[in-house]
């Protein structure tokens, strides 16, 4: 297999991985960024309680049902607030 074909296959694989991450997310890049920033702030101030209470507070303030986006964040490794901050970086999820 020549270099051009390997590069094409690699790029195709990376695009499909990015598309899968975005599909899991259910939030826009801006919403995810806002969620991660707000959750990070609360985790620093209050700590992580090993649940998603800070993310749920953000959702409530923004009129978004937690059931809409939390399952997708779990797929990305965000099972609690500190994991949302660490594993759901919008730059990685949206590959920017």
Element (H, E) at 18: helix 3-25
Contact indicator for 60, 92 with CB cutoff of 8 Å = no
Q: 51 or 76, which is more confident?
A: 51
Q: Mean pLDDT score of the chain, rounded to an integer?
A: 89
Measure Cα distances from 15 to 4, 18, 24, 51, 96 in Å.
16, 5, 14, 31, 12
Tell me which of 16-30, 43-57, 72-86 is least confident.
16-30
Q: 1 or 61, which is more confident?
A: 61
What sign for the dihedral angle of Cα 58, 46, 36, 76? negative
The per-residue pLDDT for 12 is 77
Contact indicator for 55, 73 with CB cutoff of 8 Å = yes
Give CA–CA dist 39/34, Å, rounded: 8
Structure confidence at residue 26 as a pLDDT band (50, 70, 90):
confident
């Amino acid at each position: 297999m020549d270099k051009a074909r390997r590069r094409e296959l690699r790029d195709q694989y990376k695009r499909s991985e990015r598309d899968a991450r975005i599909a899991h997310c259910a939030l826009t890049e801006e919403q995810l960024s806002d969620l991660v920033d707000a959750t990070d702030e609360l985790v620093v101030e209050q700590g992580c309680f090993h649940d998603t209470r800070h993310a749920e507070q953000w959702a409530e303030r923004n009129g978004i049902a937690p059931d809409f986006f939390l399952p997708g964040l779990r797929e990305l490794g965000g099972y609690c607030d500190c994991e949302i901050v660490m594993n759901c970086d919008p730059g990685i999820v949206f590959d920017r």
